[in-house]
Chain A
């Protein structure tokens, strides 16, 4: 087999799986699950082969649109960045697929679910491989629709489809900017292909203002997909989907796509200093804001969701500080431990018969020893405990923050402190102490098919930060954080953890109440009001205007017959002659005119 066809196998295997499930195996849940898992394994193996092969010299591509002014290929980019991402996406994706086989067992929509997972993999891999903006936008939108399908999996309840709509529409708002940015870049450089844009960036007549605007518009795509402030509101609601979906969306795929895209078009960020500043600012705000909201949430999945927001804010901030390595490093380690945490949360929810409130758990450490142990690894990695993967990548993020200003560094440190606090709070309340409900007393570990992915993910969650591991995936150029950064990072981690233990050990309910945080700064309420008073109001007024003014005018003008009404009631087949006459008359008039000339 030709090596150049490997990327296409990676990309198309999940698409084939979608087609097979939709057309053939819908009836059999087990076969559908098997097909989907097989497809992702094929992609994974092919990704490994690609990873070990040298970078191909040329790009093989097919042409999707071909005009003199606009040439859109569907082609692949294989470089260090995409290779690493391929391994992360397919590897973690495969584990989530396998885990899902256990988690979704007995669900009526299992076939649909696995078709959705495969569609998701296809879309995500398309983003990773894309070599031009239009192709990336295509798969970008497809990720949106596959997340819609998966979040709304339990469509017969009210909340999941609402959450799915919210996710899709919020993402489309981001895509609105993204597409506009693509158009601006194309107009200036006459190309949509990354390498060509990069080349012509130096020589084009691009004004500074335009470049900044285009970069920020492209960044809108990231704001939507990576759920950055102010478009972050969809992500917590997306928890309405099945838990493995949350793991998929949060760990390796959808939200990571935004950061990956920025890394892919890093040349744009480098070229526009003003945009860097905005990107760093948005990332910082998001990380701090989300971390503060997480400390007052009670739903185990939502706490993790806000944690994802916060960590993504870190990565975006690092990109804004021009530290692509730090962002990709953290994306890499975060993918493992966040997948582990979500799947662990899924195991807890599974063992608790779909209870998600942490205050109804407690003492699960004894009932679910394996889940507890792996969850502990994930937690320690996330809060940056020395020795665990997250520690290394977080230090690099903090070093990047320091390169900005003391304020960004302070904000990043505060985020680290809060992260440590809310995660230890979660762990203490769920796994330690006494069981708070009957369900917690009878909790049990998950079956092997779900436990295995937990164990496998725990390994890289611990190891991924060490040089011998990470150097294969993200070239770090031997950048070392200054010593005092490590010290501060350790202090933030330790103080957060200690405070959480002291505050929450043995507690039956939350000793602190901060309404503003528990209600997520009222973003949902503010947005709902905003929509009600702008879009809805406008829509209603337009609807009225159309009905009463525009249409009323028509009725007025069509006057006589209409108002009299007699004609309305006498509409019969017999009137055919009348219409025929009406139109015949028109044609005859035309002819008469022509002939009389």
Chain B
């Protein structure tokens, strides 16, 4: 089942490159994946073992190289996210002027890479699949991007390559800290070893720091975030949707899947640092977001800012916070994809996304205005959307946690500031909404066509999923219990 999720986009990409009609192939592959991801979710047995749908295939046994996939609730949620966002991104892709085949192939490879990374139970493939997804991202920005696309592409390439490299060092360090006899890439086995206290890295804190910074760069953790807004502003819409919505979650997923369960004490050791950095994400980036003057840059920064809330949930290391963080990964992925999709449609029509040029666009384009409103309110955590349910959990989880020795200047302060961030996000989102869609309509925009009916479906799909998960968060949270259990080790009520 998981193999289909990974192989289907690859096959479609190869067929497209070989001359099959690219768009239908991509659409079909992403539709199949959506169905398969949903099926997997329904078939997952919540009472069974954590990792299910396991399939194994030894490639180079003497190199300990084994293709090993499997999924628990957390992976399934991420796989579903990947499937939904891929489907929406492919669907909203406008006519590609040049190299259409390659364009769709790139999108499909990103999807396959993300699927592979989230489905891998093998540390090596977990890393390699992510790399597979990154390369086409760079290409999409460098070749089909807009504005100063080449410098944006270079920056994201160099920056993320650095992040991957640091991450690699961390993973090597982790591997090395397992007793020689028990060395394995199998994440399940590693988690068991960790639970039994058999992983004793000589320098656990150092290894964790490498992982935190490596993953952190990929997630745009403050102050390693400057690659993100520009890259998203230059990237073609579907690439921005896929990267901000899905691929960026790889780092967070890695923290939850690898770093926390395997090095819990080190995670606690660095809590203070993480709190300081995530406050940077929320408050500092929040303020930077307010100062933006273009819609795409504003969205890029807002996505960086919201990473702070997920980090807050992860840092809290308790059930509430971790569940909130995991659900927020899902919710944020959908809402930011919807926002980028809509901004892309607006940009195609107006050829500018500067606030000073726009205004009143909801009049000629009521659907886009309405959908942007919903997505904007979702992203600032309005009740009814999944973002609210997850942020509430993060707040409760963080408030419950505390750092030994400093009860207030740790999580309490972080929670207070994160709550203030909710005000900040309302400021920049509503300002942007007003600047683009409300107020006086400049004469030259009065005849812009609204979104075609057929193109509305993917946006509706994204928003409907957000609403469903917001009304019934327990449906999704029910899947997360075992994975979160592995990552959480502190259950305290002060």
Chain A interface (Cβ within 8 Å of chain B)? 63-70, 134, 137-139, 141-142, 145, 148, 152, 155-158, 161-162, 164-165, 168-169, 172-173, 175-176, 179-180, 183, 186-187, 190, 535-536, 538-540, 542-543, 546, 550-551, 554, 558, 561-562, 567-569, 571, 573, 575-576, 579-580, 582-583, 586-587, 589-591, 593-595, 597
- Find chain A residues with CB under 8 A from B127 CB: 587, 590
- Find chain B residues with CB under 8 A from A164 CB: 430
| A65 and B393 contacting across the interface, CB-CB below 8 Å | yes
Chain B interface (Cβ within 8 Å of chain A)? 63-65, 99, 102, 124, 127-128, 131, 134-135, 138-139, 142-143, 150-151, 153-155, 157-159, 161, 164-165, 168, 171-172, 175-176, 180, 183, 223, 226-227, 284-285, 287-288, 290-292, 318-320, 323, 360, 362-363, 377, 382-384, 388-389, 392-393, 395-396, 399-400, 415-416, 419-420, 422-423, 426-427, 430-431, 434, 437-441, 473-474, 477, 491, 493-494
- Find chain A residues with CB under 8 A from B154 CB: 561-562, 567-568, 571
Of A172, A543, A567, the contact of B426 (CB 8 Å cutoff): A172
The 4 closest A-B pairs by CB, nearest first: A543-B291, A161-B438, A138-B383, A539-B290
| A145 and B131 contacting across the interface, CB-CB below 8 Å | no
- Find chain A residues with CB under 8 A from B290 CB: 535-536, 539
- Find chain B residues with CB under 8 A from A597 CB: 176, 180, 183
* Given A186-B396, A554-B155: A156 in contact with B291 (beta carbons within 8 A): no
| A172 and B291 contacting across the interface, CB-CB below 8 Å | no
* Given A539-B290, A586-B165, A594-B175: A162 in contact with B383 (beta carbons within 8 A): no
| A183 and B320 contacting across the interface, CB-CB below 8 Å | no
Instruction: A70-B396, A156-B440 given; name 10 further pairs at CB < 8 Å.
Output: A156-B363, A169-B427, A183-B396, A187-B400, A540-B291, A542-B284, A542-B288, A546-B285, A554-B226, A597-B176
- Find chain A residues with CB under 8 A from B128 CB: 587
Of A67, A187, A580, A593, the contact of B172 (CB 8 Å cutoff): A593
| A142 and B383 contacting across the interface, CB-CB below 8 Å | yes
Q: Kindly state the separation between the CA atoms of A568 and B285 in the bound complex, as whole angstroms.
A: 28
Closest-CB distance, A584 to chain B (whole angstroms): 8
| A571 and B153 contacting across the interface, CB-CB below 8 Å | yes
- Find chain A residues with CB under 8 A from B291 CB: 539-540, 542-543
| B226 and A65 contacting across the interface, CB-CB below 8 Å | no
- Find chain B residues with CB under 8 A from A558 CB: 155, 158-159
Q: Kindly state the separation between the CA atoms of A575 and B288 in the bound complex, as whole angstroms.
A: 34
- Find chain B residues with CB under 8 A from A568 CB: 150-151, 154
* Given A183-B396, A540-B291: A586 in contact with B168 (beta carbons within 8 A): yes
Closest-CB distance, B368 to chain A (whole angstroms): 13
Closest-CB distance, A555 to chain B (whole angstroms): 8
A–B complex contacts, Cβ < 8 Å, 18 sampled: A68-B319, A70-B320, A155-B437, A156-B438, A157-B440, A161-B434, A169-B430, A175-B422, A180-B416, A186-B399, A187-B399, A187-B493, A561-B154, A573-B139, A587-B127, A590-B168, A590-B171, A594-B175
| A165 and B319 contacting across the interface, CB-CB below 8 Å | no
Q: Which residue of A lies closest to B65 (CB)?
A: A591
Q: Which residue of B lies closest to A554 (CB)?
A: B226
- Find chain A residues with CB under 8 A from B171 CB: 590
| B392 and A187 contacting across the interface, CB-CB below 8 Å | no
- Find chain A residues with CB under 8 A from B143 CB: 571, 573
* Given A157-B439, A535-B287: A173 in contact with B423 (beta carbons within 8 A): yes
| A176 and B150 contacting across the interface, CB-CB below 8 Å | no
Q: Which residue of B lies closest to A148 (CB)?
A: B430
Q: Which residue of B lies closest to A569 (CB)?
A: B150
Q: Kindly state the separation between the CA atoms of A190 and B492 in the bound complex, as whole angstroms.
A: 12
Q: Which residue of B lies closest to A184 (CB)?
A: B399
Closest-CB distance, B122 to chain A (whole angstroms): 12
Of B135, B399, B434, B437, the contact of A579 (CB 8 Å cutoff): B135
Q: Kindly state the separation between the CA atoms of A172 and B424 in the bound complex, as whole angstroms.
A: 9
Of A155, A169, A561, the contact of B362 (CB 8 Å cutoff): A155
| B287 and A538 contacting across the interface, CB-CB below 8 Å | yes
Q: Kindly state the separation between the CA atoms of A187 and B395 in the bound complex, as whole angstroms.
A: 12
Q: Interface majority SS on A: helix, strand, loop or mixed? A: helix
| A594 and B287 contacting across the interface, CB-CB below 8 Å | no
Of A137, A554, A587, A591, the contact of B159 (CB 8 Å cutoff): A554
- Find chain A residues with CB under 8 A from B415 CB: 180, 183
Q: Kindly state the separation between the CA atoms of A587 and B494 in the bound complex, as whole angstroms.
A: 45
| A176 and B131 contacting across the interface, CB-CB below 8 Å | no
Q: Which residue of B lies closest to A134 (CB)?
A: B392
Closest-CB distance, B394 to chain A (whole angstroms): 11
- Find chain A residues with CB under 8 A from B491 CB: 69
Closest-CB distance, A423 to chain B (whole angstroms): 35
| B438 and A152 contacting across the interface, CB-CB below 8 Å | yes
| B393 and A156 contacting across the interface, CB-CB below 8 Å | no
* Given A142-B383, A156-B363: A583 in contact with B226 (beta carbons within 8 A): no
Q: Kindly state the separation between the CA atoms of A542 and B287 in the bound complex, as whole angstroms.
A: 6
Closest-CB distance, A355 to chain B (whole angstroms): 22
Closest-CB distance, B409 to chain A (whole angstroms): 16
* Given A67-B323, A583-B131: A591 in contact with B63 (beta carbons within 8 A): yes
- Find chain A residues with CB under 8 A from B172 CB: 590, 593
Of A155, A158, A573, A583, the contact of B164 (CB 8 Å cutoff): A583
Closest-CB distance, B51 to chain A (whole angstroms): 22
Q: Kindly state the separation between the CA atoms of A305 and B272 in the bound complex, as whole angstroms.
A: 48
Closest-CB distance, B405 to chain A (whole angstroms): 19
- Find chain B residues with CB under 8 A from A594 CB: 63-64, 124, 175
Q: Which residue of B lies closest to A22 (CB)?
A: B370
Of A67, A156, A168, A169, the contact of B319 (CB 8 Å cutoff): A67
* Given A156-B363, A571-B154: A168 in contact with B383 (beta carbons within 8 A): no
Q: Kindly state the separation between the CA atoms of A594 and B320 in the bound complex, as whole angstroms.
A: 37
Closest-CB distance, A218 to chain B (whole angstroms): 14
Q: Kindly state the separation between the CA atoms of A594 and B175 in the bound complex, as whole angstroms.
A: 8
Closest-CB distance, A197 to chain B (whole angstroms): 15
| A580 and B400 contacting across the interface, CB-CB below 8 Å | no
Closest-CB distance, B210 to chain A (whole angstroms): 14
Of B139, B227, B360, B430, the contact of A168 (CB 8 Å cutoff): B430
Q: Kindly state the separation between the CA atoms of A587 and B123 in the bound complex, as whole angstroms.
A: 12
Q: Kindly state the separation between the CA atoms of A537 and B124 in the bound complex, as whole angstroms.
A: 47
Q: Which residue of A lies closest to B165 (CB)?
A: A586
| B63 and A573 contacting across the interface, CB-CB below 8 Å | no
| B426 and A587 contacting across the interface, CB-CB below 8 Å | no
Q: Kindly state the separation between the CA atoms of A156 and B366 in the bound complex, as whole angstroms.
A: 12
| A165 and B131 contacting across the interface, CB-CB below 8 Å | no
- Find chain A residues with CB under 8 A from B441 CB: 156
Q: Kindly state the separation between the CA atoms of A64 and B395 in the bound complex, as whole angstroms.
A: 16
Closest-CB distance, B166 to chain A (whole angstroms): 11
